[in-house]
Amino acid sequence: MSRRQLLIDVGNGRTKFGLATSEAILERREHATRELSPDAVRAVTQGWQFESAVICSVVPKAVPAFREVLGDQLIELRYDTPMGIGIRYPKPESIGPDRLANAVALAHMHGAPGIVIDFGTAVTFDILSADKFYIGGVIAPGLRLMTDYLHERTALLPRVDLREPTTAIGQSTEGAILAGAAIGYRGMVKGILEALKKELGGQKVSIVATGGDAEWIISGMGEDILTDPDLTLHGLRLVGNLRAPL
């Protein structure tokens, strides 16, 4: 049996777990991040056999539970972890580890130069140069953050379940919000991508999207953009491969 590793992507809302070989992700599980504890980690990973674990976390207070359970098996992805890519960025320690994992997956699976769009609580754009260096990115409000904010900060606007609007001209308050969310958000994404591609000098750029709303947003953009819901986990898998014993 090939060597197995546990992959852990700790997000603001949900934590994704993956059981992987060096080549593929075999199984996936999830857990609410705010409810993580050593016992929860043991319960989620029950029945999984692995030799090492790799974690990226945007919630620092969640990491001690994993350290307690996994001990020396755990590799914590940081800017100075061997990744197979370089970093050209003024303060590399400030780069979110999930963004580094995405850049690793982009470099090794899709090529450079490239851009990763990660649709989460925030939407992030991370850029890899032609010589496979992380060179920076863009952070904007996530889609649900924007629509929830409208509801929470106004007296009359409802919270809506996101879906494709039937028309651009909303025929109800809900329809107007859906049009703003879908059409407006895609316009923002297109505008950012256009500016990034221009700064990359007109080279052919690999673009990959991941995150909860990626499929829905990208499907209506008419752009040549791949979507991969497991991109961050693949980045962790690749980092783990670099640390594998000979």
Q: Are 189 and 207 in contact (CB under 8 A)?
A: no
The Cα–Cα gap between 177 and 5 comes to: 43
Q: Does 126 qualify as catalytic in the annotation? A: no
Strand locations in the chain, DSSP E? 5-10, 14-20, 25-32, 52-57, 74-76, 86-87, 114-119, 122-128, 133-141, 206-211, 226-227
Q: Give the ranges where 119-184 is alpha helix by DSSP (H).
A: 143-153, 173-179
The Cα–Cα gap between 83 and 135 comes to: 15
Catalytic residue among 9, 80, 98, 148: 98
Amino acid at 197: K
Q: Which residue has the tokens 């990973």?
A: 45
Q: Which residue has the tokens 């990226």?
A: 56
Q: What are the catalytic residues? A: 98
